[in-house]
Structure 1
Amino acid sequence: MTQTSPIVALRGLRLARGERTILRDVDLLVEPGQVVAVLGPSGCGKSTLMAALTGELAPADGSVEVLGRPMPRGGRELLELRRGIGVLLQGNGLLTDLTVAENVALPLRTHTDLPDAVIRRLVEMKLHAVGLRAAADAYPRELSGGMARRVALARALALDPPLMIYDEPLTGLDPIASGVVMSLVRRLNDTLGLTSIVVTHHVHETLPVADRALVIANGRIVFAGTPAELEKSDDPFVQQFLRGAPDGPIAFDAAPRVAGAAA
């Protein structure tokens, strides 16, 4: 049997913003083909972890390996590695003066020398994959929230990245649109042979499509396992988060945030 390397390997990771440690003692392996949900309350450090996975934040201690390579500290090597990572931003990041098709084509025009005919065909394929081929000539302002999120997903997939990272993909979506987006995450992960990390606080919408789940609280990973194991866990951190209880071991973030604080 062929041994496959993890898509993501974090070992002894400590992440800090200035003098403040945000996450500590993080050990994580993400295997190829998995959908991994990274869960936790607002301010727990989920976005800080995502910044480490994309090379935006260097570790204070420990190591980050993505796609079988140590995370470069900058320069051309980091840009090259990032081409293998698709990121769906929380706010979509669509350019309002470009059509849907032009938004999806943007990474292809920026990072490749493909001819226009090939780019148009690839854009059609990506929009078809998210069910929006008919919306190619529309502008972002003409789309619903769920449609805009799917366009952003098509754009994130434009360069065929093996790793997808979703930053709070359900923010601002109604329950039906949330279900459509998460179903699409699972289907695209399987049909395109991706590996996906979903950073979110939407537990009940995300767990049904996840293979593994992590819960972050109070600066560390307090749970790692399958969704079934998570729902059966009697850990007080996990129970407080799943129930949304105001009282428990997870501290309420009552202090004013500073620039660059965790999210």
Structure 2
Amino acid sequence: MPEPNAPAVHLRDVRLQRGGRTILSGIDLLVPTGSVTAVLGPSGSGKSTLLAALTGELRASQGSVDVFGRPLPQRQRELLETRKSIGVLLQGNGLLTDLTAAENVALPLRMHTKLPAPVIARLVEMKLHAVGLRAAADLYPRELSGGMARRVALARALALDPPLMIYDEPLTGLDPIASGVIMSLIARLNASLGLTSIIVTHHVHETLPVADRALVIADGRIVFSGTPAELQQTTDPLVRQFLDGRPDGPIAFDAPQREVA
């Protein structure tokens, strides 16, 4: 159970490495419970590496990672139990093509609970209704539009009622209308279900309107942390290059990953 009044996520002086190479260093992050936090940055900046640390997939080589006031467990069984409280919307949806929308949403409930079939069916109906797709229950992923498939994946991520939701590039491959639907849905579900949401993305302008806090990752570190309004007003050259989409600036295009001291 979450510790009372604890932040949803708290990282202290975290260093993250892959293959012996430092990807992120000196990461300090506090995500208040009930908030929507946008983790922004250019491609290859380490956003997915940070996500892996939040879910326990990647262990920090330095520092601490707490979720709801408790360190992420080291033992696999305890970690799997903790992960039930973390819903993840994958960038590629991860829907099983031979299962219907309803069957995809039911999968976590069948795997991690002993609920009877009628109860699972009712919960699946409720989750699909929450994302506006109750009528699509019997459709297969190939019969869904990109936006519909993303909403089914969201319903599945919410199946176990996790208090923390992490969205990995939720707008990838979606048109502007579908993107607007998804972002509005994220904000509405966060408020109505009392969730805490972390949106990992490079889609700045679509994400900031629903975010309470924003941070920018670049050059192997957090280069900005504050409110969306403060982010829009920043004059930092590195952050401005990312926000304005400028090809020239401190962030080199297609450059080798830098080693962080």
- The TM-score by the shorter chain falls in which range? over 0.9
Q: Which whole-Å CA distance do the structure 2 matches of 1:29 and 1:117 have between them?
A: 40
Q: Does 1:116 align with 2:117?
A: yes
Deviation of 1:19 after TM superposition, in Å, equals: 2.0
Equivalent residue letter for 2:137: A
Q: Distance in 2 between matches of 1:74 and 1:247?
A: 45
* 1:112-153 deviations in Å (ceiling 9; x for gaps): 000000000000000000000000001110000000000000
Q: Residue type matched to 1:192 in 2?
A: L
AA paired with 2:217?
I
Equivalent residues in 2 for 1:109-258, closer than 5 Å: 109-255=110-256
Which residue number corresponds to residue 69 of structure 2?
A: 68
Q: For the residues of structure 2 that align with 1:18 and 1:61, how far apart are their CA atoms?
A: 15
- Structure 1 alignment gaps of length 5 or more: 258-263
1:261 corresponds in structure 2 to none
Which position in structure 2 is the counterpart of 1:104? 105
Letter in structure 1 aligned against 2:229:
A
Separation of aligned partners in 1, 2:90 and 2:176: 19
Query: Shift of the alpha carbon at 1:74?
Result: 3.2
Q: Secondary structure of the residue that 1:59 maps to in structure 2?
A: coil
CA distance in 1, matches of 2:234, 2:45: 20
> Per-residue deviation at 1:243?
0.8
CA contact (8 A) 1:40 1:200 kept: yes
The equivalent residue for 2:41 is 40
Q: Distance in 2 between matches of 1:20 and 1:244?
A: 28
Cα deviation digits, residues 158-203 of structure 1 (max 9, x gap): 0000000000000000000000000000000000000000000000
The aligned counterpart of 1:87 is 88
Would the aligned equivalents of 1:41 and 1:201 in 2 still touch at CA under 8 Å?
Answer: yes
The normalised TM-score by structure 2 is 0.96
Separation (CA, whole Å) in 2 of partners of 1:149 and 1:184: 11
Cα distance in 2 between the residues matched to 1:130 and 1:74: 34
CA contact (8 A) 1:170 1:178 kept: yes
Instruction: Determine the C-alpha separation between the residues in 2 that align with 1:227 and 1:74.
Output: 37
Cα distance in 1 for partners of 2:255, 2:223 equals 21
Taking the aligned partners of 1:164 and 1:7, their CA distance within structure 2 comes to 10
Which 5+ residue runs of structure 2 have no aligned equivalent?
Answer: none
Counterpart Cα distance in 2 of 1:4 and 1:254? 42
For 2:52 and 2:254, how far apart are their aligned partners in 1? 21
Give the residue type in structure 2 aligned to 1:13. Answer: V
My pick for the range that moved more, 137-146 or 68-77, is: 68-77
State the secondary structure of the residue aligned to 2:52: helix
Q: Does the residue aligned with 1:198 lie in a helix, a strand or coil?
A: strand
Distance 2:10 2:255 in 1: 33
Q: For residue 69 of structure 1, report the CA deviation from its aligned partner.
A: 1.1
SS in 1 for 2:115: coil
Q: Secondary structure at the match of 1:166?
A: strand
**How many aligned residue pairs are there?**
254
What is the SS of the residue equivalent to 1:98? coil
Q: Which residue of 1 aligns with 2:7?
A: 6
Q: Secondary structure at the match of 2:214?
A: strand
- Cα distance in 2 for residues equivalent to 1:239 and 1:204: 13
Contact 1:218 1:251 (8 Å CA) reproduced: no
Q: Tell whether the 8 Å contact from 1:88 to 1:152 is kept in structure 2 after alignment.
A: yes
Q: Which amino acid aligns with 1:162?
A: P
